[in-house]
C-alpha cells in the first residue's frame, strides 16, 4: 500500500490534501508497474485529532477573485476527537456561505450537491470529511480508511499498549534522535515532552495526553490515573478510548497495513526523520517517505492578470505593496525614465568634475562635496519615488491585477495549496479537473524531484 493522510478539514480543507491523495494514487500505479504486484493507494482520515481551530474553516476563492473564509461554528467546549464531534446545525449556514461564494461558476451545482449530501448536522466531522473524500475520488482506485474504525483500533491495540508501557524508553530514543538532527543543523519538527507518552486517552475531559507518573500514567486534565495492569486492561477492553500522537500514528499505520511508501508534505517528512527509531521498537521497517507534489492551479482570469502584468506566479511571493511599486517603476513613461537617468548621471558627473577641481584648492573639500553629491542623489531618488507613487495611484489596473493574482496564487502571501479549498477550482473546472492534475504529475524513482508545472483549468475544465 501507498498511504497518505490528513486532518479532517471543512469541505476537505486546503488544496494540499487533494495533492497528497493524487500523489499517492499516481505513485501506487507507477509502483504496481515497476514491481509487478498489486499496490493500493490508501487515504487515512485522521479522525482522532482534536484541534478544532485547525479544521473548522475552509477558504474559498469567489468568482470575483476574493478569498472568503467559511467557518463551521461549534459550542463544544472540550477537545473532542473529530470522530466524536458532531457537525451541528451551523453547517446550514456554512453551506449557504459556500453556495454564495461559488455563485457564478459553471459547476457550482455539482459541487454543492456533493457537500450537501455529505455534511449534515447529525454527522460527525470526521464522517462528513471522509465521505466527501470518497465522493470526490470515486473515479479513482482510492481506498479510504478512518483512524477511529473499530477494526483498525483492535488491530493496533498492541502498538498503543507497547507505546504506553515503554513511555520513558521511547522518550529517550526520540530525544536522542532529535539531538542528532539538531547537531547536523536540522530542527526538531515535533517537541519531545518530558514523561509524555505517544498516546492520548479519550475520557470525560476530551482527548488528553498520557504522562508517566511514578510507576503508572496520568491524564492530567481529568486526573485519571492508570497502573500497568489497568492500562493493559483498558486498552484491551476499549482500544477506541486511546489514540496515537503524531509520532506514533505512522507506526500504527504500518502495523495494520503493509505500507510500502507514505506520501507527505515537508513538515511530515521532517518528523519522520525524528520518529524513525520507533519503527524498530515494534519490529517494523519504516516505509519510504515520498514527497507530495506541489501544484499551482491558474484560472483564466488569473492568467490574464499575469499576462497584463508580464510577471510569473513566483513574482507574487513579494509583498503586495512592493510588487505594485516595482511594476509601477517598470511602467514609468519612457520620457520620465530618460529624464531621471539624465538627472542621476548629471549629478554624479557634475559633482565628480567639481570635486576633482575643488580638491586642488583644498583637499578637505572632497568629503564635504561628496556628502552634498550623495544628498543630491537621495533627493533624485525621492523624486523618483514620488513619481512612482503617482503612477501606482493612477494605474489602478496594476494594483487590481496584482490583488486578483495574489488572491488566487499567493493568498496571505503563502502558496495557494496551503490556503484555498479545492471547490474554488472544481466549481470552475468541473470533475475532470482532478484527473487532469493527476496526469500532470510525473513520478520518478531516480531521486530527482520533477519540476512543478502550473495547471491552467479553463472554464470548461480543460487543462
3-state secondary structure of 91: helix
Question: By CB neighbour count within 10 A (0-12 exposed, 13-18 middle, 19+ buried), where does 443 fall?
Answer: middle
Q: For the sheet with 242-244, list strands across it.
A: 224-226, 216-219, 206-213, 196-203, 242-244
Closest CA to 127 of 116, 118, 117, 139: 118
Task: Decide if 130 contacts 146 (C-beta within 8 A).
Answer: yes
Give the torsion through C-alpha atoms of 340, 341, 344, 345, to 10 deg: -150
Homologous superfamily assigned to 1-192+245-296+415-463: HUPs (3.40.50.620)
Instruction: Tell me the C-alpha to C-alpha distance, in Å, between residue 231 and each of 73, 211, 225, 227, 383.
Output: 35, 12, 9, 6, 74
Closest CA to 80 of 36, 49, 117: 49
pLDDT at 288: 95
N-to-C CA span, the chain? 29
Concatenated DSSP letters of 268-319 = HHHHHHHHHHHHHHTT-PPPEEEEPP---B--HHHHHHHHHHT--GGGGGS-
Furthest C-alpha separation in the chain: 99
The length of the chain, given as a count of residues = 463
Task: Decide if 258 contacts 380 (C-beta within 8 A).
Answer: no
If residue 97 lies in a helix (H) or strand (E), which one and from where to where? helix 91-102
So where are the chain's domains?
A: 1-192+245-296+415-463, 301-413
pLDDT digit of tens for each residue in the chain (463 aa)?
Answer: 999 999 999 999 999 999 999 999 999 999 999 999 999 999 999 999 999 999 999 999 998 889 999 999 988 889 999 999 999 999 999 999 999 999 999 999 999 999 999 999 999 999 999 999 999 999 999 999 999 999 999 999 999 999 999 999 999 999 999 999 999 999 888 999 999 999 999 999 999 999 999 999 999 999 999 999 999 999 999 999 999 999 999 999 999 999 999 999 988 998 899 999 999 999 999 999 999 999 899 988 899 989 988 888 888 988 887 887 777 776 666 676 677 777 788 888 888 888 888 888 888 888 888 888 888 888 877 776 776 666 655 556 788 888 899 999 999 889 999 999 999 999 999 989 999 999 989 887 776 655 555 555 443 333 3
The beta-strand segments (E) located in 96-205 are 143-146, 196-203
pLDDT at 461: 32
If residue 43 lies in a helix (H) or strand (E), which one and from where to where? strand 41-46
Q: Is 206 left (phi over 0), alpha (psi -120 to 50) or beta?
A: left
pTM over 0.95: no
150: Cβ contacts below 8 Å, ≥ 6 apart: 240
Residue 363's φ and ψ, nearest 5 degrees, are: -60, -25
pLDDT at 332: 63
421: Cβ contacts below 8 Å, ≥ 6 apart: 11, 12, 13, 14, 15, 58, 59, 60
Cell numbers at residue 132, please? Answer: 466527501
Task: Decide if 308 contacts 396 (C-beta within 8 A).
Answer: no
Question: By CB neighbour count within 10 A (0-12 exposed, 13-18 middle, 19+ buried), where does 286 fall?
Answer: middle
pLDDT at 396: 65
Residue 61's φ and ψ, nearest 5 degrees, are: -90, 120
The beta-strand segments (E) located in 72-205 are 143-146, 196-203
* Whole-angstrom distance, CA of residue 110 vs CA of residue 113: 5
pLDDT at 463: 30
In Å, how far from its chain's centre is CA 444?
23
Amino acid at each position: 500500500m501507498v498511504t497518505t493522510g490528513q486532518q479532517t478539514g471543512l469541505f476537505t480543507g486546503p488544496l494540499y490534501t487533494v495533492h497528497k491523495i493524487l500523489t499517492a494514487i499516481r505513485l501506487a500505479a507507477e509502483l504496481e508497474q515497476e514491481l509487478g504486484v498489486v499496490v493500493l493507494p490508501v487515504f487515512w482520515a485522521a479522525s482522532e485529532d482534536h484541534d478544532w481551530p485547525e479544521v473548522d474553516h475552509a477558504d474559498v476563492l469567489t468568482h470575483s477573485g476574493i478569498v472568503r473564509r467559511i467557518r463551521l461554528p461549534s459550542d463544544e467546549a472540550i477537545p473532542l476527537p473529530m470522530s466524536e464531534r458532531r457537525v451541528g446545525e451551523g453547517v446550514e449556514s456554512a453551506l449557504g456561505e459556500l453556495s454564495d461564494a461559488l455563485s457564478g461558476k459553471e459547476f457550482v451545482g455539482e459541487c454543492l450537491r456533493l457537500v450537501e449530501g455529505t455534511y449534515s448536522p447529525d454527522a460527525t466531522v470526521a464522517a462528513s470529511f471522509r465521505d466527501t473524500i470518497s465522493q470526490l475520488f470515486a473515479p479513482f482506485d482510492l481506498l479510504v480508511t478512518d483512524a477511529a474504525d473499530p477494526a483498525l483500533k483492535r488491530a493496533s491495540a498492541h502498538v498503543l499498549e507497547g507505546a504506553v508501557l515503554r513511555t520513558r524508553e521511547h522518550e529517550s530514543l526520540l530525544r536522542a534522535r532529535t539531538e542528532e538532527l539538531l547537531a547536523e543543523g536540522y530542527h526538531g519538527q515535533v517537541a519531545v515532552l518530558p514523561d509524555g507518552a505517544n498516546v492520548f486517552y479519550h475520557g470525560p475531559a476530551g482527548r488528553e495526553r498520557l504522562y508517566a507518573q511514578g510507576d503508572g500514567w496520568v491524564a492530567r486534565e481529568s486526573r485519571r490515573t492508570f497502573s500497568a495492569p489497568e492500562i493493559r486492561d483498558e486498552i484491551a477492553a476499549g482500544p477506541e478510548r486511546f489514540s496515537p500522537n503524531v509520532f506514533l500514528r505512522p507506526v500504527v499505520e504500518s502495523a495494520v497495513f503493509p505500507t510500502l511508501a507514505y506520501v507527505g508534505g515537508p513538515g511530515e517528512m521532517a518528523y519522520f526523520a525524528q520518529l524513525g527509531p520507533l519503527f524498530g521498537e515494534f519490529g517494523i521497517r519504516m516505509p519510504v517517505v515520498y514527497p507530495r507534489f506541489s501544484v499551482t492551479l491558474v484560472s483564466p482570469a488569473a492568467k490574464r492578470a499575469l499576462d497584463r502584468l508580464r510577471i510569473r506566479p513566483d513574482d507574487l511571493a513579494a509583498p503586495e505593496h512592493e510588487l505594485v511599486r516595482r511594476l509601477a517603476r517598470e511602467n514609468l513613461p519612457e520620457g520620465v525614465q530618460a529624464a531621471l537617468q539624465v538627472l542621476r548621471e548629471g549629478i554624479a558627473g557634475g559633482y565628480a568634475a567639481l570635486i576633482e577641481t575643488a580638491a586642488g584648492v583644498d583637499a578637505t573639500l572632497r568629503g564635504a562635496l561628496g556628502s552634498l553629491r550623495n544628498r543630491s542623489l537621495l533627493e533624485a531618488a525621492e523624486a523618483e519615488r514620488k513619481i512612482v507613487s503617482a503612477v501606482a495611484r493612477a494605474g489602478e489596473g496594476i494594483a487590481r491585477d496584482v490583488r486578483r493574482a495574489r488572491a488566487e496564487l499567493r493568498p496571505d502571501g503563502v502558496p495557494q495549496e496551503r490556503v484555498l479549498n479545492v471547490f474554488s477550482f472544481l466549481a470552475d473546472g468541473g470533475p475532470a479537473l482532478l484527473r487532469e492534475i493527476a496526469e500532470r504529475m510525473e513520478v520518478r524513482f531516480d531521486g530527482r524531484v520533477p519540476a512543478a508545472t502550473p495547471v491552467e483549468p479553463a472554464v470548461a475544465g480543460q487543462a
